[in-house]
Amino acid sequence: MKEKVLITGGSGLLAVNWAISINNNYDVTSLLHHRKISLLGVNTAFESIDSLDKCFYVLDKYRPDIVIHTAGLTNIEECESDPNLAYELNVNLAKNLAIACNQLSVKLINISTDHLFLGAQKFSTEDSITKAANTYAKTKLLGESEVLKYSKNAMIIRTNFFGWGPKYRQSFSDIILKKLRNNEKVGLFSDVFFNPILIDELAKRTHQLIDLNASGIFNIVSSERISKFEFGIKLANCFNLNSDLINEIKLKDIPNLVKRPKEMSLSNKKICRRIGFKMPSIDEQFQVLKKQESDCTIS
C-alpha cells in the first residue's frame, strides 16, 4: 500500500509541481483553499486548516503518513504591508500543523526559504546565524522555530526553487521565458545571488530524507551559486532564446523595494552527505525543465 501524502497550499506553484512529481509513488491529496484545480492522479479537496482544531480534523479525516506544508504568504511586499496576515499564514499555520502532526505521529515537512541571512556570507549552512531583513523572513524564521518546538520529528527545508507554474502562478523561470519568447526585454539582478533547484529535484531529495527518517533543518538547493542575471542567461541559452534581451540591473535600480538580502546562497553539503548524492548542475536541471515542457508533464 502506498504511503499517504497530504500537501497544503495545493494550488500553489510548489505544491502543484510536487504533487505531480510524486503521484506515481504515493497516494497524494492536495488541500485547496479558494482555487479549484485538477491534477491527473492527484486527489484534491477544499479544506481549511486555519485553526488547531481544523488541523486535527483534516489529519484525522485523511490519515496521511506525511504532510508537505507549502502554504503560506510568500510575497515580500504583501508580507510587509500586512504583517498580521504574514504572521497568521507563516507562523500560526506551521505551529498548529506541528502540534497536530506531533500528537498524531505524522511526519511534517515544513518548506522554508533562503531569505534568512542578511550579509555577505556565501553558502550559509543550517547552523549559520540568521538575520531577517523583512517581515517575510522574520515570519518564516518564527515558523521554523514553532515547528521545531512542537514537532520533535519534523523537517525544515530551506530552499529556492523553479519549475513550470500554472497560468495563475508563474515561477521566476516562467517569467523570463515568457518575456524572451515575446521578444521583450527583461531586467535581472546581477548583485543578487542564489542557488535554486528544480522542484522535481527538490521533491525527490526531500523524500529520500524522509525515507531515512531525517529531522531538523536541511538546505536543499543546487551546488552552483549564481546571480539572477546569470540564471537568466543560462536559461535563455538552454531554450535557444535571445539572451541579448536580458539586461543587467542592480537592486538599487528598483525604487521602493522592501529590503531583501543580496546573498541567499546556501550550502547543500549536509544533505549531500546524508543521502550520498551530488546535486545536478543548473544546466542539467534546465535540460529537465525543457523536457518537461515538450512532454507536457506540467501545465
- pLDDT for residue 299: 42
- pLDDT for residue 296: 63
Q: Compute the residue count for the chain.
A: 299
- pLDDT for residue 1: 86
Answer yes or no: are the C-beta atoms of 27 and 49 closer than 8 Å: no
Would you kindly state where each structural domain of the chain is located, as residue ranges?
4-165+195-225+264-281
- pLDDT for residue 25: 95
- Grid cell listed for 165: 507554474
- pLDDT for residue 39: 86
φ, ψ of residue 234 to 5 degrees: the values are -60, -40
CA nearest to 158, candidates 134, 194, 191: 194
What is the residue-level pLDDT of the chain in tens, covering all 299 positions?
A: 899 999 999 999 999 999 999 999 999 999 998 888 888 889 999 999 999 999 999 999 999 999 999 999 999 999 999 999 999 999 999 999 999 999 999 999 999 999 999 988 999 999 999 999 999 999 999 999 999 999 989 999 999 999 999 888 899 999 999 999 999 999 999 999 999 999 999 999 999 999 999 999 999 999 999 999 999 999 999 999 999 999 999 999 998 899 999 999 999 999 999 999 999 999 999 999 999 997 764 44
- pLDDT for residue 81: 97
- pLDDT for residue 298: 45
Instruction: Tell whether domain 4-165+195-225+264-281 is in CATH 3.30.70.3040.
Output: no
Q: Which residues of 45-83 are buried (b: 16+ CB within 10 A; e: fewer)?
A: eebebeeeeebbebbeebebebbbbbbbbbebeebeeeb
* 224-246 tens-digit pLDDT: 999 999 999 999 999 999 999 99
